[in-house]
Amino acid sequence: MDINLITTQDGSHTLEVPSLKERYHSIHGAIQESKHVFIEMGLRHFSSGYISILEVGFGTGLNAFLTFLETTDKEILISYHALEPFPLPFSCTTKLNYLQLLEAEKFQEIFNSMHHAPWNQTIQITPKYKFQKLPCQVQETNYKTEFELIYYDAFAPHAQAEMWNKSIFSKMVKALKSGGILVTYCAKGDVRRTMQKVGFQVQKLPGPPGKREMLRGIKP
């Protein structure tokens, strides 16, 4: 698979897959988008305590790393589960400039450990952050009330329509505990309606730079 490194408008990198005509992050700003959608509108919904997270689409590792950074100055314990059936080669991930822009170079080893983590094993990255990476597709999962939070970061519907259907979101709502939330950058009307059909209470929220809206689904 051909992959191109691109600099987005906030100076941070994303990766482009020409065959899918799709990027891993917004061209308007990779770090800005991830911080807004997944951290500000997702993780910070929970003020403290133990939070179990499922990420659909580990990709560059940016969301996982930003989540780790939140543990460095907050009273939260994270158990992070990342699905990635198509892992990026290390030759790509070593070029990403996230740590430099986040002034977090001292955590380079932690960022690397996420990408080099053995599959299907839980590793204790720090006392406050457990991490597990699974090489499977979301269609293969069968979670039951295990997570407080889901980062839904699959490629967009035009590139991966099979990731945005009723069957998938039914799995996601079952995977969440009562009161748990799913956040995604996608705000398409048919995605919102599909989420509502499987039982989510869906909120339209302001999107990151370059995008008017995003979605947050709450499991009653």
According to the model, what pLDDT value does residue 20 have? 84
Cβ–Cβ < 8 Å for 214, 207: yes
According to the model, what pLDDT value does residue 47 have? 86
Distance (Å, whole) CA 112 – CA 215: 30
Cβ–Cβ < 8 Å for 138, 57: no
What's at 65, amino acid-wise?
F
- Whole-prediction pTM: 0.97
- The fold of 26-218 is Rossmann fold (3.40.50)
Mean pLDDT, 10 residues at a time, the chain of 220 residues: 94 94 96 99 95 98 99 97 96 97 98 97 98 97 97 96 98 98 98 99 97 98
Q: Which of 91, 84, 183 is nearest to 131 (CA)?
A: 84
The full set of domain ranges for the chain reads 26-218
Distance (Å, whole) CA 146 – CA 37: 21
According to the model, what pLDDT value does residue 48 have? 86
According to the model, what pLDDT value does residue 90 have? 94
- Measured torsion, CA atoms of residues 171, 183, 88, 9, in degrees rounded to the nearest 10: 160
According to the model, what pLDDT value does residue 157 have? 96
With a CB cutoff of 8 Å and minimum separation 6, the contacts of 191 are 157, 164, 184, 215
CA distances from 87 to 84, 119, 136, 214 (A): 6, 11, 10, 26
Distance (Å, whole) CA 112 – CA 131: 13
CB neighbours (10 Å) of residue 84?
19
According to the model, what pLDDT value does residue 210 have? 94
Overall size of the chain counted in residues: 220
According to the model, what pLDDT value does residue 213 have? 98
According to the model, what pLDDT value does residue 16 have? 96
